[in-house]
Amino acid sequence: MSAVAKHLKLTSRFLADYNVEIANKVKVALDLSDAQFDKLVETLKVDDIFDFRKMNKRGGAKGGATRAPTAYNLFVQQKIKELKLAVPDTDRKMLMIQAAAAWTEEKKKKAAGGTESKTGGAESKTGGAESKTGGELKTTKTVKKVTAKK
């Protein structure tokens, strides 16, 4: 729960307790009947001002407004479904890596069909070097080995 939601929750509790205290003082001062007192307490309730279940959702107290999924989101979602069908025992991290790589390739295919990419094809976002040979795209990654010193 965010700090704002916690603050609102604590404030709401404080106001509820304070309003009951005020209602008791008003009951004594004005000599209210039990029915009038109950109506006064109901009127002073603050529990329904904030819906704390919605506070954890995106958009805060606005009701959890979310943006529409981007082309990337939709592509990755579809690609992960396809990859899961092909190899069901692959872990989620590898699925995301493969889907992201497929998105990069898809973008490059579209860019090659229309205009050149902004990076000039020299380096991908994953840090790999690329080269075109014989019409096929090859991607290589550099992996650093870290050895522990004893």
Tokens 């025992």 belong to residue: 89
Q: For residue 89, how far is the Cα from the chain centroid? A: 26
Residues 11 and 52 in one domain: yes
The predicted structure's pLDDT at residue 148: 55
Domain that holds residue 25: 3-62
In a domain, 143, yes or no: no
The whole-model pTM stands at 0.37
Q: Give the total number of structural domains in the chain.
A: 2
| 17-50 tens-digit pLDDT | 888 888 888 889 988 888 888 888 888 776 655 6
| 92-144 tens-digit pLDDT | 999 999 999 999 999 999 998 865 444 444 444 444 444 444 444 445 454 45
